[in-house]
Chains A and B, each alone.
Chain A
Amino acid sequence: MKQRNSTLVIGASLVGFSIAVFLLSFFWTPYDPLEIKPELSLTRPSAAHWLGTDENGRDILSNIIVGSRATLVVAMVSVMICMLLGVSIGVATAMSPKWVESPAVFGVDILLALPTVLLAIVLTAVYGPSTSTAVVAIGLALSAPVAQVTRREVKSILLADYVTAAKTSGSGSLRIVRKHILPNLRASLFVQASGASAIAILAEATLSYLGFGTPPPDPSWGRMMASLQQYLIVAPIFPLWPGLAIVITVLGFNLLGDGLREALDPTLRRQTD
């Protein structure tokens, strides 16, 4: 009985859409997002400017399209960092002797307790607001949950019979990792990466909103919302647009992760009541 995985389809479509917009930003935007036209300040959506203009007369749609760069770049890079770091730490600690594992787990727990955004704020205090600070901070903070989950999974894989068989037949640790652990982790890694992307995007948007992310003049969805908020009384609809952009992208990654989990993990199929 085939079940249509609508979650996966919707998630993938939304993510695909975001990536398409991202790619589009390098080739064409309706207007130059940075071009200031004070006479057009805060115009309503119209045929000329589909989403209206901001307080400086800049076209909002163009800014949103280019803003996807900050969002997706931060997401992609920080997720790469956190996955590389997290998986290595997770695998290494799971396979280490107790005296190495315990303090490592302790360290990860500490990192886990520090909220992503808080860590990013602290790092910004030291290094100043920039895209790279945000990327490093988010990547670092997210590596902790990835390490924790990976470690647990590796431990349970290690308990499997075929791994014991491999060990007794003399396979070295590195070989075991390559041939048995990583392939079995693959599904979970995809799911984790999707989830981490969603969190990374939200974190970047939040940091930008607070002023700690991508500095001006590069467009950023979070920062756009912060600046448009001041004009709520005059133009209540404007903050909707960057917000919508964020929601669509984050929702896409969340659904993608959920859909992947459904599709890749047959053991999750439960009995119905």
Chain B
Amino acid sequence: MATAFYLMRRLALLVASLIASSALVFFLLRLLPGDLAQARLGIYGTPEALNQLREEYGLDRPLTTQYFSWLSNAIRGDLGSSILTGADITSELLSKATVTLPLIGIASLLAVFFAVPLGMLAALRRRKWDGIAVSTVSQLGIAVPTFWIGVIFVTMFAVQTQAFPPGGFPFGGWADFGGAVKSLVLPACTLAFAQGAVLMRFARSATIDVIQQDYFRTARATGLSRAGALRVHGIRNAMVPVVSVLGIQISTLIVGAIIVESVFALPGIGQMLLQDVSVRDYTKVQGTVAFITALVFAVSFSVDLLLGVLNPRLRNQ
């Protein structure tokens, strides 16, 4: 019963956060003086055409009314249409998402797959040379901007060796499955490297925490080796901070995806957002940012749920 109540509260918080953040972005974007209708029609804007456009987009109504009508549509999945091209935002978002979401997904899996064991290794052997070496690499890894890693990967694997394409995505999308996968390899590795470095540091400190716990010593006293004790007792305990960091990292992952898409010229949500920003397509930016924040909050929420599963003590709170 307590669990259900906890879930309800978290859900309510989630909804409130979504509304608040979309409102923030909405009002922020409308701060700029200048007529949106004028921007669209340019010099061809006759007064009648301008008025018609304004009515169509509801630009003549008070700002708060505009926001609420946007919100009520957004809840039903309709994010409106681009003020510059008139195209439907939701469908364009979804089609671009077919590039971005797999990119993020593969990158996260890669990051966790490599970061967690490496972090544990770095912790176990933290006074030996290999543990120190791994920590140093991760220290460098977090100092390196994502785009730089991308450029290096392009140089090494696409320009010098031509094993992978230096950018772009097959024209037919996922219909060309092999081509699509090939295009995502370097970008995903780039993103995974950056994320992995951060995750690794957390995995390392979480593991060191576990090693310093009394129950670790008890485990050793029962005849487990240090690696064995980590395996039996440590992994679950070490995963708790790692999973919660992953939840927080989702927003940096998305930003990372935006950057990586720029480096590798991938037709994903990130690249679309950058273009829309430079041409000041407000409705699209609004819709895209709302989509992104919804994604971030949804992931955070799921991570909280996961943490509840991993840590039985949290369930009663």
Contact = CB atoms under 8 A, between A and B. Distances in A.
- Decide whether A and B assemble into one complex: yes
Interface of A: 106-107, 109-110, 113-118, 121-127, 198, 202, 205-206, 209-212, 222, 225-226, 229, 232-233, 236, 239, 243, 246-247, 250-251, 254-255, 270-271, 273
B254 interface: yes
Interface in B270-294: 273-274, 276-278, 280, 282, 285, 289, 292-293
Contacts of B252: 115
B140 interface: yes
Main secondary structure of the interface of B (DSSP, over half): helix
B251 A125 contact: no
A77 to B, nearest CB: 20
A243 B255 contact: no
B206 to A, nearest CB: 14
B246 interface: no
B2 to A, nearest CB: 21
A229 B151 contact: yes
Nearest to B13: A106
Interface of B: 16-17, 20-21, 24-25, 28-29, 31-32, 139-140, 142-148, 151-152, 154-155, 159-160, 166, 211-212, 216-217, 251-252, 254-255, 258-259, 262-263, 273-274, 276-278, 280, 282, 285, 289, 292-293, 296-297, 300
B251 A114 contact: yes
Nearest to B259: A206
Interface centre among B21, B143, B151, B254 (most CB of A within 10 A): B143
Contact of A225 (B17, B21, B147): B147
25 contacts: A106-B17, A110-B17, A115-B251, A115-B254, A117-B259, A118-B258, A122-B277, A125-B280, A125-B285, A206-B146, A206-B259, A209-B145, A212-B277, A225-B148, A229-B154, A232-B151, A232-B154, A232-B159, A236-B155, A246-B148, A247-B143, A247-B144, A250-B143, A271-B212, A273-B216
A157 B160 CA distance: 57
A109 B17 contact: yes
B293 A114 contact: yes
